[in-house]
């Protein structure tokens, strides 16, 4: 049996007791004690009936009679619900009270220790890995391709060739690329000159040059004398030795000719970023490359490969323990370091949300109240506060009984005087 039913029966029993007591003592009035009891039962019956009428009048018409100012809740439903909603919005759950309460809440202090503990103990690992895998798997790579392609093309198109060449030339000069280039060329030349077939080629070329020289008089006689005295082999050997000597000379640092060559190479490197013809040529090549490059398939394949690699790594326990978990803990550590800023941001966002939607609290309560018919709403109120209301009736009967005894005693004493 519910508490409401028990208290309701107790209220009825109190009225019955008062009524039986009054009827039982009514025929007898020769004893002061009987008269005191009769006065108590009479006042208790009146008090109980009055409180029963008052309690009943809140919810319905007593005995079904349309007595004025009864059935107060059904007749004043709109005013009652509006008052309730107003109190709820403006007093109990006002914007200011909610926002002040939120300012005292440290969201990071409440959430991060729990999350850290779950990650450390491994309770969150399986769920975290599953969530990351689902997130990665659900990425629609095809929709990302146009955006990434546009960004790549835009980035490459905006590259200033002159600045790139300036960076390259500066780097080359700082790393003494001029001397390295010259040494590399001289080394290759030395190796080539020392080859046996090189001597033959040099002799053949030199002899052909002499034969083609058109000369008269003594010069012609001298050239013919050289031809008769030197064979291609001897001539090639002479030229080879002369070139080797020149190469060896240029390989010595501090040699004037070498320094002149190095200076010339350096000058050409430094002038590279001002070479308009070179810049124009690179720009043309760059634009041609972008127009002919099948960037869609390249980006798509790269993204698919990246997605598959991530999913494979997420199946690797070592990868999870070595990289994913520490990364999560590092991220949590970063949040903790900036907890004050993050808490303020969260509080601000919630305050803005409350500011924009606070009226919806009252609207929601009003909407739910409007869905209830009178009978349901009254039953709901009675179920929640019915016990206390029934005790009003019981207390009315008891208080009336006590007051009745007192008043009867006073009346008796006045009669004696």
How do residues 283-302 score in pLDDT, each as one tens digit?
888 778 777 777 888 888 88
Task: Provide, rounded to the nearest whole percent, the portion of the chain with pLDDT above 90.
Answer: 0
Q: 401 and 278, same structural domain?
A: no
Position 181 scores a pLDDT of 85
On whether residue 90 sits in a domain, the answer given is no
In tens, the pLDDT along 142-174 reads: 888 888 888 887 887 777 777 888 888 888 888
- Judge contact between 77 and 371, C-beta under 8 A: no
pLDDT band at 44 (very low <50, low <70, confident <90, very high): confident
Range of the domain at 261: 142-175+252-293
Position 1 scores a pLDDT of 46
Q: 307 and 288, same structural domain?
A: no
Q: 288 and 241, same structural domain?
A: no
On whether residue 56 sits in a domain, the answer given is yes
How many domains does the chain contain in total? 4
Q: 239 and 201, same structural domain?
A: yes
- Judge contact between 173 and 266, C-beta under 8 A: yes
Q: 288 and 260, same structural domain?
A: yes
Least confident of 105-119, 172-186, 300-314, 370-384: 370-384
pLDDT band at 61 (very low <50, low <70, confident <90, very high): low
Position 227 scores a pLDDT of 57
- Judge contact between 384 and 103, C-beta under 8 A: no
- Judge contact between 393 and 24, C-beta under 8 A: no
On whether residue 126 sits in a domain, the answer given is no
In this model, does residue 126 exceed pLDDT 80?
no
On whether residue 107 sits in a domain, the answer given is no
Position 100 scores a pLDDT of 76
On whether residue 93 sits in a domain, the answer given is no
Average pLDDT over all residues of the chain: 76
CA 318 to chain CA mean position, Å: 27
Q: 157 and 50, same structural domain?
A: no
Q: 14 and 55, same structural domain?
A: yes
Position 221 scores a pLDDT of 53
On whether residue 19 sits in a domain, the answer given is yes
From 293, 322, 355, give the residue that closes a domain. 293
In this model, does residue 60 exceed pLDDT 60?
yes
Whole-angstrom Cα distance, residue 415 to residue 408? 10
On whether residue 227 sits in a domain, the answer given is yes
Q: 231 and 324, same structural domain?
A: no
């Amino acid at each position: 049996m519910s508490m409401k039913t028990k208290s309701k029966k107790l209220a009825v029993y109190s009225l019955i007791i008062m009524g039986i007591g009054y009827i039982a003592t009514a025929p007898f009035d020769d004893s002061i004690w009987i008269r005191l009891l009769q006065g108590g039962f009479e006042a208790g019956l009146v008090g109980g009936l009055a409180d029963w009428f008052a309690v009943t009048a809140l919810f319905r018409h007593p005995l079904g009679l349309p007595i004025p100012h009864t059935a107060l809740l059904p007749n004043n439903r709109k005013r009652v619900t509006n008052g309730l909603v107003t109190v709820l919005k403006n007093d109990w759950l006002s914007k200011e009270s909610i926002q002040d309460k939120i300012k005292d809440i440290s969201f990071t202090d409440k959430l991060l220790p729990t999350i850290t503990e779950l990650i450390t103990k491994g309770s969150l690992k399986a769920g975290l890995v599953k969530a990351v895998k689902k997130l990665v798997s659900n990425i629609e790579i095809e929709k990302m391709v146009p955006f990434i392609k546009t960004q790549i093309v835009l980035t490459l198109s905006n590259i200033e060739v002159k600045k790139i060449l300036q960076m390259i030339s500066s780097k080359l000069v700082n790393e003494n690329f001029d001397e390295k280039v010259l040494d590399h060329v001289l080394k290759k030349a030395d190796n080539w000159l020392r080859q046996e077939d090189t001597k033959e080629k040099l002799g053949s070329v030199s002899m052909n040059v002499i034969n083609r020289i058109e000369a008269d008089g003594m010069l012609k006689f001298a050239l013919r004398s050289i031809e008769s005295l030197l064979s291609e082999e001897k001539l090639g050997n002479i030229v080879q030795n002369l070139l080797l000597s020149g190469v060896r000379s240029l390989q010595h640092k501090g040699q004037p000719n070498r320094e002149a060559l190095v200076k010339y190479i350096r000058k050409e490197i430094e002038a590279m970023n001002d070479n308009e013809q070179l810049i124009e040529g690179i720009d043309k090549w760059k634009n041609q490359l972008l127009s002919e490059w099948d960037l869609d398939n390249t980006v798509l394949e790269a993204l698919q490969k990246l997605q598959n690699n991530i999913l494979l790594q997420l199946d690797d326990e070592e990868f999870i323990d070595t990289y994913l978990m520490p990364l999560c803990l590092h991220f949590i550590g970063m949040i903790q370091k900036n907890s004050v800023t993050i808490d303020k941001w969260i509080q601000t966002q919630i305050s803005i949300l409350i500011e924009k939607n606070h009226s919806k609290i009252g609207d929601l309560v009003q909407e739910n109240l409007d869905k209830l018919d009178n009978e349901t709403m009254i039953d709901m109120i009675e179920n929640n506060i019915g016990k206390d209301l029934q005790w009003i009736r019981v207390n009315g009967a008891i208080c009336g009984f006590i007051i009745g005894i007192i008043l009867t005693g006073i009346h008796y004493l006045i009669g004696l005087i």
